[in-house]
């Protein structure tokens, strides 16, 4: 579900009129709904109530400290992939002892920092990394808690850039080899085996691959349990969300029964379906369960607000040139992803025309939609790029020397600026003339 609705002809996020937000904070502007994020977290938490579990929000999806703080207050743990993300969690008041530390290329400084902060577990992706962590833990006189990341070699049917659970991906340790690595880990004096981890990919829109992966590693986990003190199974994240037509039926709430029927034609996966599919194999294993959802919690909770700068007509196209670019939201260029685009001022009639919505960046890949049927848009109009809450701002760059956009968080009738728009001074901060 999300909380973006038209009231009196204007798109609102919860109780906040997005026209007002754009005037107040400028555009391009990311706007997030706190209510939506909390609702998603609580639904997942409630659906898992029968199972001993900890939801570790994947910080990389959206790492603004206001959002981390929101989830931390709700009792979430965090899945981090860098020292920088650990720093953010701490800055937001999160508990490092509820953090799982993932990533294939952890540095010495990052490992030391995570040991000092006593993270819950390192998700270890190779033997080389295991030996490295053991050595650093020894030099600090501590034990490093670890889970090996198993690559279950299942096809999650997702985009090849976000698939991680196949044998050809760089992630994890092969299923038929991982038992040997656990034996080695058990011999290492400064390694404490705590669990097993996997993560098969992102934007997965069916429940079956999740259940299949758990079922596939179950015999191995039962064998490992006899030899090692396993405390948890971490099933990773990857739950997909609706990107298309999240809005079409008006209410935008596909978790209600009415919309569920419609949603199943777009996306067969809901929190209920996901939990129903993974619960039986998880119960059979009987370990504490860690989950690392990112996109599910924040994806539909955010939009990127942009203003139309120019309309440009060529012989066979109409271009709507907006003030947001691929540097602000790179998903369409990087993953060919679809973002629904809606006018902030509600369309008065049902007329639609095919347009390309493009940004100002000097790249042909800088588009948000091509030949999309949209209501007529004019210069100065505002549009919302929907479902931009995950992998949006966090992937933004200064390409073309464009300052990073601002971010705002909405709760009920109130909005707060949670990140200032960058200035030109920010662009050159830290740069120096060469002095030889
Ligand atoms: C990216 C990532 C996640 C989160 O993925 P989502 O698709 O956003 O749920 C979780 N765990 C690991 C190890 C990841 O790399």
The model's pLDDT over 14-45, given as tens digits with 9 standing for 90+, comes to: 999 999 999 999 999 999 999 999 999 999 99
Q: How confident is the model at residue 160 (pLDDT cuts 50, 70, 90)?
A: low
| pLDDT of amino acid 246 | 59
7-21, 52-66, 164-178, 209-223 — which is least confidently predicted? 164-178
Q: Would you say the CB of residue 149 lies under 6 angstroms from ligand 1?
A: no
| pLDDT of amino acid 242 | 87
Out of 55, 80, 129, 202, mutate this one to test ligand 1's pocket (max ligand atoms within 8 Å of CB): namely: 202
Average pLDDT score over residue span 49-74? 98
Query: Is 113 a residue whose pLDDT tops 80?
Result: yes
- Give the residue ranges of DSSP H helices in 228-348: 257-266, 271-285, 295-298, 331-335
| pLDDT of amino acid 244 | 83
Domains of the chain and CATH, by start: 34-297 (3.20.20.10), 300-418 (2.40.37.10)
| d(CA 317, ligand 1 centre) in Å | 38
Q: How confident is the model at residue 128 (pLDDT cuts 50, 70, 90)?
A: very high
Query: Is 257 a residue whose pLDDT tops 50?
Result: no
| d(CA 1, ligand 1 centre) in Å | 20
Query: Is 161 a residue whose pLDDT tops 90?
Result: no
163-172, 180-189, 196-205, 285-294 — which is least confidently predicted? 163-172
| pLDDT of amino acid 251 | 39
Q: Which atom of ligand 1 is nearest to the CA of 204?
A: 7
Query: Is 147 a residue whose pLDDT tops 90?
Result: yes
Q: Is 56 a catalytic residue?
A: no
Query: Is 167 a residue whose pLDDT tops 70?
Result: no
The number of beta carbons lying within 10 Å of the beta carbon of residue 167 is 11
**Alpha carbons 106 and 100: distance in angstroms, whole number:** 13
Render pLDDT for 209-252 as a digit per residue (tens, 0 to 9): 999 999 999 999 999 999 999 999 999 999 999 888 655 444 34
Average pLDDT score over residue span 102-129? 97
Q: Which atom of ligand 1 is nearest to the CA of 61?
A: 8
Q: How confident is the model at residue 156 (pLDDT cuts 50, 70, 90)?
A: confident
**Alpha carbons 351 and 365: distance in angstroms, whole number:** 28
Q: Would you say the CB of residue 85 lies under 6 angstroms from ligand 1?
A: no
Average pLDDT score over residue span 151-176? 75
| pLDDT of amino acid 308 | 98
| pLDDT of amino acid 252 | 40
Closest C-alpha to 19, from 384, 388, 325, 392: 384
Q: Would you say the CB of residue 236 lies under 6 angstroms from ligand 1?
A: yes
Burial class (CB in 10 A: 0-12, 13-18, 19+), 216: middle
Closest C-alpha to 31, from 295, 303, 243, 300: 303
Render pLDDT for 114-125 as a digit per residue (tens, 0 to 9): 999 999 999 999
| d(CA 238, ligand 1 centre) in Å | 6
Q: What is the mean pLDDT of the chain?
A: 92
Burial class (CB in 10 A: 0-12, 13-18, 19+), 246: buried
Q: Which atom of ligand 1 is nearest to the CA of 149?
A: 13
Q: How confident is the model at residue 265 (pLDDT cuts 50, 70, 90)?
A: very low
């Amino acid at each position: 579900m999300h909380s973006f609705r038209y009231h009196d002809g204007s798109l609102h996020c919860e109780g906040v009129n997005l026209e007002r937000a754009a005037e107040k904070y400028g555009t391009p502007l990311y706007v997030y709904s706190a209510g939506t994020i909390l609702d998603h977290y609580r639904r997942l938490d409630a659906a898992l109530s029968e199972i001993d579990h900890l939801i570790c929000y994947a910080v990389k999806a959206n790492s603004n400290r206001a959002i981390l703080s929101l989830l931390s207050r709700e009792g979430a743990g965090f899945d981090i992939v860098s020292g920088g993300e650990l720093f953010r969690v701490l800055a937001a008041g999160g508990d490092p002892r509820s953090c799982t530390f993932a990533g294939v290329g952890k540095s010495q400084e990052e490992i030391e920092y995570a040991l000092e902060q006593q993270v819950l577990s390192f998700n270890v992706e190779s033997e080389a990394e295991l030996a490295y962590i053991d050595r650093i833990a020894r030099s600090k006189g501590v034990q490093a808690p670890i889970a090996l990341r198993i690559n279950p070699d299942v096809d999650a049917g997702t985009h090849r850039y976000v698939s991680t659970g196949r044998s050809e991906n760089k992630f994890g340790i092969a299923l038929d080899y991982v038992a040997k690595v656990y034996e080695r880990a058990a011999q290492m004096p400064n390694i404490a085996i705590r669990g097993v981890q996997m993560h098969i990919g992102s934007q997965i829109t069916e429940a079956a691959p999740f259940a299949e992966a758990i079922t596939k590693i179950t015999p191995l986990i039962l064998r490992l349990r006899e030899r090692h003190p396993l405390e948890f199974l971490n099933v990773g994240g990857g739950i997909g969300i609706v990107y298309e037509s999240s809005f079409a039926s008006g209410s935008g709430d596909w978790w209600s029964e009415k919309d569920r029927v419609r949603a199943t034609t777009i996306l067969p996966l809901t929190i209920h379906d996901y939990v129903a599919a993974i619960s039986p194999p998880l119960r059979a294993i009987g370990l504490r369960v860690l989950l690392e959802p990112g996109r599910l919690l924040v994806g539909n909770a955010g939009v990127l607000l942009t203003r139309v700068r120019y309309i440009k007509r060529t012989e066979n196209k109409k271009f709507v040139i907006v003030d947001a670019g691929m540097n602000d939201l790179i998903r369409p260029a990087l993953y060919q992803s679809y973002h629904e685009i809606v006018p902030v001022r509600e369309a008065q009639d049902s007329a639609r025309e095919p347009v390309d919505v493009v940004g100002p960046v000097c790249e042909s890949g800088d588009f948000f939609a091509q030949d999309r049927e949209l209501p007529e848009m004019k210069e100065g109009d505002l549009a919302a790029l929907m479902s931009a809450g995950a992998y949006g701002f966090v992937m933004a760059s200064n390409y073309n020397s464009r300052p990073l956009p601002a971010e705002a968080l909405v709760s009920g009738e109130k909005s707060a600026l949670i990140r200032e728009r960058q200035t030109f001074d920010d662009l050159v901060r830290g740069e120096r003339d060469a002095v030889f």
